[in-house]
Amino acid sequence: MEDKGSLVFKEAKKEEEVVNLSKFDVQAFTDTQDFSWTLDNIKKEIKTGWKLYSVVTDDEIVAAVLVKRDGDTLHTKNTPIKMAFQGNGFSHQIKNFYEEEAEKFNVRKVINYCPVDNFRMIALNESHGYKRTGNAFGNNQNIIEWVKVL
Ligand SMILES: CC(C)(COP(=O)(O)OP(=O)(O)OC[C@H]1O[C@@H](n2cnc3c(N)ncnc32)[C@H](O)[C@@H]1OP(=O)(O)O)[C@@H](O)C(=O)NCCC(=O)NCCS
């Protein structure tokens, strides 16, 4: 699919940027995420080393991305893309961003997490060369882990 517009990835560092991103509208999907999208939960992620980015097109936040380096691995996860912006190929740009971040950190392994029942994200991971590690997390083991070695 042809990309409709480019995404900009802005790291949320200041308190106000984190607060703003915590208000990003993910309500339709909270039950499929491994945590609910609240300011407290996001702050906990940042405290444990996750870097938070807003994913922006035309001044609108369409998703949020989290990355965390651990040794030779970059852990990655993202919120769903805002409903009105799905189907634009943005998820491919998010995947490319992960690989660019991995290069910046000089790590060769990218780990990604997605809900076990999200067949679209599963197809996306497979088409980008990710393999299931066999690990699962979350309350009902509903978050599955994927790896890509660059
Ligand atoms: C799933 C998601 C990551 C796809 O991102 P996107 O940028 O909106 O999707 P696109 O339509 O551009 O498709 C990107 C890739 O996702 C996968 N995909 C999207 N729709 C798909 C479908 N109906 N079946 C299988 N794979 C699909 C494909 O790998 C596709 O790549 P391709 O277009 O090269 O074949 C994104 O829509 C999302 O976060 N969705 C929220 C969760 C969800 O699935 N919601 C739907 C039910 S409410």
Q: What is the pLDDT of residues 104-128, one digit of tens each?
A: 999 999 999 888 888 999 999 999 9
Boundaries of every domain in the chain: 8-108
Pocket test for ligand 1, best of 37, 124, 126 (most atoms within 8 A of CB): 124
Q: Give residues (CB < 6 A) around ligand 1.
A: 1, 29, 80-81, 86-92, 118-121, 123-124, 127
Q: What is the pLDDT of residues 12-44, one digit of tens each?
A: 999 999 999 988 876 544 444 556 788 998 999
Average pLDDT, rounded, for the chain: 89
Q: Is the pLDDT of residue 135 over 50?
A: yes
Q: Considering only CA atoms, which residue is closest to atom 16 of ligand 1?
A: 124
Residues ≥6 apart with Cβ < 8 Å to 108: 72, 102, 149, 150
**8-108 homologous superfamily:** Gcn5-related N-acetyltransferase (GNAT) (3.40.630.30)
Q: Is the pLDDT of residue 2 over 50?
A: no
Ligand 1 atom index nearest CA of 90: 7
Global model pTM greater than 0.85: yes
